[in-house]
Structure 1
Amino acid sequence: MKKYIVAGLLVWMPLAVTVWVLLWVLNLMNGVFDWLLLAVSAVLPLSAQTGLDELRRIPGLSVLVMVAGLLLTGMFVANVFGQWWLRQWDRLMGRIPIVKSIYSSVKQVSDTLFSSNGNAFREAVLVQYPRAGSWTIAFVTGRPGGEVATRLGSAEHLSLYVPTTPNPTSGFFLMVPRSDVMPLQMSVDEALKYIISMGVVAPPATAAASPAAAAPLPLRNRAG
């Protein structure tokens, strides 16, 4: 009976988690859409607010509006005029106390993670953690800079993100010598699947997985 229950759990768990994530995203979009309708209704006469109430009852409208809004925003900021307005907006947010620290931090992280010119999560590597002889998969996020780089000395170091399993959204930030890092040929997506599955879903073996290639090698040069 235990074997059958586990087998049934393995069938339904991926679907349940997928539905849960989709419902969470849908509720988030509905919340933002309701907030937008509330802001619009504040400036409209009472006679026009009845129509806004009807919009709330249309299924899927919030998703279409949010996707269209993201698309139009992306098209707007992709040109020179939009870039100028974006710089003005960033400058305005940077002058508001408390808000500027949160906004600037989130913007730096999001630009690093999602920008096509960024270096975050561009390469999977092996590193010894949490002790020598114990290996784990990490992602290169760049190189230490500023005072930290000065304190670390002349040896080149890499900034690494070591995710936890099965939830890779939390983890540890390490700065280790480049010579202590072993590059991997697997893609970032394959490495994430390997981590989330707790080592069950292993990427296909490559030529780099041979014993001759097991020694730590210099990573590919990257702007960082």
Structure 2
Amino acid sequence: MKQLQKIFLQGLVTFLPIALTIYIIYAGISIVDSLLGDSLRHVLPMYIPGLGFLLTILLIFLLGFILNNLIAAGVFHKLEYRLLKVPYIKAIYGPLRDLMNLFSKDGGHGMRTVVLVDMGESGIRALGLVTREHFKDVPAIDANAGDRVAVYIPMSYGLGGFTLMVPRSKITPLDMPIEKAMSLAITGWVKADKNDED
């Protein structure tokens, strides 16, 4: 009986990550496909599954290409500035834009450095990601920040976390990719593969 349990658990541990990965990819493609696909179904006499996905990807590339033009980028930033003055749009669009910028490496805005945060005399340290080093756009914080940086501490087994204002003297930068740090934090530092040396 124990042997059967061991075989089943081994199969389950192998099957679940593969099945969930395939499901998440499929769900993501289906969601993106439906963005334009639903409209195309009403216009085209015959809809080919996946056409909405391909057109959405092309639209994203086209938008990126247009925004690389200085004039178009300037127009977009003026439009964005006006959008952020509208209360309900500001409440939705602003945080979404900031979240996307958080993971962006462009322009030095996002998470740049993986650090260990000294949590006090106990000797406990937490893995964190520096999200901000300056607070000039938030005067109330800037006036009281001193020599502090904002450090995001991700929580295990979820996408949540919290941000701390930490003195620079209490952080130790690590030579580690942000993706690896997030992977470690989200999985509670569980090492999935004995041969994993990353």
Shared topology, TM-score over 0.5? yes
Are 1:118 and 2:108 counterparts?
Answer: yes
Flag as ranges the 4+ runs of structure 1 deviating above 6 A: none
Q: 1:148 aligns with which of 141, 144, 156?
A: 141
- Where 1:151 maps in the other structure, the secondary structure is helix
Is residue 197 from structure 1 mapped to residue 187 from structure 2 by the alignment? Answer: yes
TM-score by length of 1: 0.72
1:1-224 equivalent positions in 2, closer than 5 A: 1-37=4-40, 49=43, 52-55=44-47, 58-128=48-118, 132-143=122-133, 145=135, 146-152=139-145, 154=146, 156-167=147-158, 169-201=159-191, 204=197
Q: CA deviation at 1:135?
A: 2.1
CA positional deviation for 1:86 = 0.9
Deviations 1:104-142 (A, max 9, x none): 333234234325113422111112459943322110111
User: Which has the higher Rg, Structure 1 or Structure 2?
Assistant: 1
Amino acid at match of 1:87: H
Worse-matched range after superposition: 172-181 or 8-17: 8-17
Q: 1:93 Cα shift?
A: 1.9
What is the CA–CA distance in structure 1 between the aligned matches of 2:120 and 2:168, rounded to whole Å? 17
CA RMSD, Structure 1 to Structure 2 (Å): 2.7
State how many pairs are aligned: 189
Superposition TM-score, scaled by structure 2 size: 0.80
Moved more, 64-73 or 100-109: 100-109
- Give the CA deviation at 1:187: 1.8
Offset, 1:89: 2.5
Read off the aligned partner of 2:34 and give its amino acid letter: G
Q: Report the identity percentage.
A: 24
